[in-house]
């Protein structure tokens, strides 16, 4: 038959309570750190992912339009360069 020892019962209870306190302290520390980080980031001029994606899409569209305009300009310059040659052939 096993007898209960008060010392071990008290130590067991103390450890159980200490683990509960430690868990509560961990949760409280996490909450405080998250609050600190949220406040710190709110004070900075960071953009949201949605804003970043919108500006990126605008930049891609602008690059595409720029490339199309460059091609159009090159074609017009080529036609303009050929125009005086064609006029000289008519005169000859």
Q: For 2-34, what is each residue's pLDDT tens digit?
A: 567 888 888 899 999 999 999 999 999 999 999
Domain shared by 6 and 25, yes or no: yes
Domain shared by 53 and 39, yes or no: no
**Residue 60: domain span:** 47-92
Domain shared by 66 and 36, yes or no: no
Domain shared by 16 and 52, yes or no: no
Rounded Cα gap, residues 35 and 22, in angstroms: 20
Report how far Cα 23 is from the mean position of its chain's Cα atoms: 32
Domain shared by 42 and 52, yes or no: no
Residues 59-77: tens digit of each pLDDT: 999 999 999 999 999 999 9
pLDDT at position 41 is 86
Domain shared by 34 and 63, yes or no: no
Domain shared by 25 and 64, yes or no: no
The CA-CA-CA angle for residues 48, 49, 53, to 5°, reads 120
């Amino acid at each position: 038959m096993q007898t209960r020892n008060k010392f071990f019962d008290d130590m067991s209870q103390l450890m159980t309570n200490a683990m509960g306190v430690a868990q509560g302290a961990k949760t409280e520390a996490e909450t405080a750190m998250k609050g600190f980080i949220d406040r710190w980031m709110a004070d900075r001029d960071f953009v949201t992912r949605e804003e970043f994606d919108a500006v990126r899409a605008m930049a891609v569209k602008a690059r595409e339009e720029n490339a199309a305009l460059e091609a159009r300009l090159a074609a017009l310059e080529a036609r303009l360069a050929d125009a005086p040659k064609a006029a000289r052939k008519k005169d000859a």
